[in-house]
Amino acid sequence: MRRRSSASEPALVAAARRAGVTDPRVLAAVAAVPRAAFVPRSARRLVDEDRPIPIGEQQTTSQPSLIASMLASLHLDGHERVLEVGTGTGYEAALLSHLVAEVHTVERYASLAEQARQNLAGAGCTNVHVHVGDGTRGWPDAAPYDAIVVAAATAEVPAALAAQLIDGGRLLAPVGGSGGQELIRYVARDGHLYEDRRIVPVRFVPLVPE
């Protein structure tokens, strides 16, 4: 039986449930992060809709239920240090900030990174560190990570990322061409990534190396 959402439940929490998210910590994070604080002012009327939103620089932020599903698939317990590649608005990093101990996130556009820093500060997320750079190289200064989330499409997972995970660490990436990708979870063993689970077909903006 599908659980009905209560009248007072935020629309995006209900959307995450409909997408199959059951982890109470992930649902609580979706409830706690105000998406309105992360999207451009012109898109504020769309914040309660479970749809992608354009964020400038020809980039988009994904529908929240997909981000929630992604983060749920990592089974985070709160003690982790996580790297996100592709900060965008900082919304996913904000969800992560509620789910783990420390977040590092890398964005190639300085303008988006600066906006994300402001968004995250406004939402009170103090355990997120936003870096400007080429995320295909990861962020070695803060490695190793317990998990890495790649938030942009790539034909293959950049080799540098595997080396920045702890043994047994998990990496999530939309892998495929520009027409569409599959969200794949990998596990790191001895510096190599092994495919662990294919989660869902997705369509992300491309990961662009420097």
d(CA 58, CA 9): 32
37 binds ligand SAH (CB under 6 A): no
By CB under 6 A, is residue 70 in contact with ligand SAH? no
Residue 59 found at the interface with ligand SAH (CB under 6 A): yes
**Does 106 contact ligand SAH by CB under 6 A?**
yes
- By CB under 6 A, tell whether 97 contacts ligand SAH: no
Using the minimum distance from each CB to ligand SAH, give the nearer residue, 42 or 167.
Answer: 42
Q: Is the Cβ of residue 44 or residue 189 nearer to ligand SAH in the bound state?
A: 44
- Distances 22 to 14, 68, 103, 123 between C-alpha atoms, Å: 11, 10, 23, 24
Strands (E), the chain: 53-56, 59-61, 81-85, 102-107, 128-132, 145-150, 165-177, 180-189, 192-202
**Which structure tokens are listed for 35?**
């998406």
Determine which residue in the list 50, 80, 107, 146 makes contact with ligand SAH, applying CB under 6 A.
107
Q: How far apart are CA 138 and CA 79, in angstroms?
A: 20
Range in contact with ligand SAH (rule: CB under 6 A) among 6-14, 104-112, 122-130, 167-175:
104-112
Q: Match 């939402």 to its residue by tokens.
A: 123
Work out which of 17, 26, 68, 88 binds ligand SAH, going by CB under 6 A: 88
Does 61 sit near ligand SAH (CB under 6 A)? yes
Place of tokens 């997972």: 157
Tell me if 50 contacts ligand SAH by CB under 6 A.
no
CB 127 within 8 A of CB 102: yes
Site of interaction with ligand SAH (CB under 6 A): 57, 59, 61, 85-86, 88-89, 91-92, 106-109, 112, 134-136, 151-152, 205, 207-209
